[in-house]
Structure 1
């Protein structure tokens, strides 16, 4: 397996590790942006309390199974009860190491395909009934899987800041589930890197001191 990845059995054989489960909820759609650009698929993520993008889910309690813990987290964050099965599991891997990550974190990622109306009902519930709305979760968002003529869409989205393994989980799942063509994803990632470099320049410029008040001429 790729570095950092484990089989489900290997992950569960580490009882001293902390386990976190997240899921990508998605569906097919015939809708078009501006009546001409096919959206193709709806993939849900969320804006978290820390300003980072991530998937619904969270830490599994030691007494819970992976799926039971994920179901509980989804009920809190989305306001609905979803049935997540072991068959929906895609991968397990170690979370990024950090000074505060003790014990070691293992993240488990799932994908569940739904009907478009189910996705819409879930989005409504996430705002109206979820106990974590406005606190741990600041809002559900859709991933723009298309590429516009001016480069907008997937590339700018990938240039944002993601929590933990979420960006890897997203891109790997888009390929595995054939939601985005490999060449389209490669182009989007390359463009995202350019956008990040430009954003870094803009932030550095924002740190530059403003012109001194003394240089301002009176009317």
Structure 2
């Protein structure tokens, strides 16, 4: 399939690659990210919608919350969002992408500048990423899930939404650590973990334990395959 090439995607191919390293992305303030310093860089916006959920699964695991992520057209996991159009503010882009990719009714839920979580700069790619988040009620979250099938981009740019598990199961790996083993677009994994801590869906120590378990399993799996 590689012989087919990238066609009209060639100009954007580098932006959402899997396997980007955390150290390639520097965290900067929202003000700096929007400044003239990065006016020649490409900008992209992504958003994390979530609802708190204290339901107990099998009398064992507390759900903690429902976070909306999605399978992208390229087989990678990420958040609703994409590149900012020329002349468009990153916030406008974030709301537009939510309409297009998950069919969000902006009269019921709309992002504002106060929903900004973190911005990143990748100087090698000349790319600035803006990450937003919004808490909604569980009933609205479920409504958004049901409406996703009618989103304009469903079945083309996006291939379905998912809820990541926010608990670790008894073997210390399945659940959140296993979810982290998936392939993510760009730094979506880092955005996810920052979002969990920012909104206190999980504690810093819980996140660190999950990351440690994921990395330990990854190393063991690589060693067993060699």
TM-score range, shorter chain: 0.7 to 0.9
Q: How far does residue 195 in structure 1 lie from its aligned partner after superposition?
A: 2.4
Counterpart of 1:40 in 2: which secondary structure?
Answer: strand
In the alignment, which of 122, 126, 138 is matched to residue 116 of structure 1?
A: 138
**Aligned residue in 2 for 1:133:** 154
8 A contact 1:23–1:56 mirrored in 2? yes
In the alignment, which of 121, 131, 146 is matched to residue 94 of structure 1?
A: 121
Partners of 1:138 and 1:196 in 2: how far apart?
26
Q: How far does residue 200 in structure 1 lie from its aligned partner after superposition?
A: 3.4
Q: How does 1:1-219 map to 2 (within 5 A)?
A: 4-13=26-35, 14-82=38-106, 83-95=110-122, 97=124, 101=125, 104-127=126-149, 129-151=150-172, 152-201=174-223, 204=225
Count of residue correspondences: 197
Partners of 1:66 and 1:165 in 2: how far apart?
17
Task: Pick 1 or 2: higher relative contact order, CA cutoff 8 A, min separation 6.
Answer: 2
Moved over 3 A (4+): 198-202
Q: How far does residue 156 in structure 1 lie from its aligned partner after superposition?
A: 0.5
Q: How far does residue 35 in structure 1 lie from its aligned partner after superposition?
A: 4.3
Residues 95/138 of structure 1: CA separation in 2 closer, same or farther (3 Å cut): farther
Could you say what the CA RMSD is over the residues aligned between the two structures, in angstroms?
1.9
8 A contact 2:117–2:198 mirrored in 1? no
8 A contact 1:96–1:164 mirrored in 2? no
8 A contact 1:89–1:109 mirrored in 2? yes
Partners of 2:116 and 2:92 in 1: how far apart?
13
Give the structure with higher Rg (CA): 1
Partners of 1:108 and 1:166 in 2: how far apart?
11
8 A contact 2:48–2:133 mirrored in 1? yes
Which runs of no fewer than 5 residues in structure 2 stay unpaired? Answer: 1-22
Counterpart of 2:148 in 1: which secondary structure?
Answer: helix
Counterpart of 1:24 in 2: which secondary structure?
Answer: strand
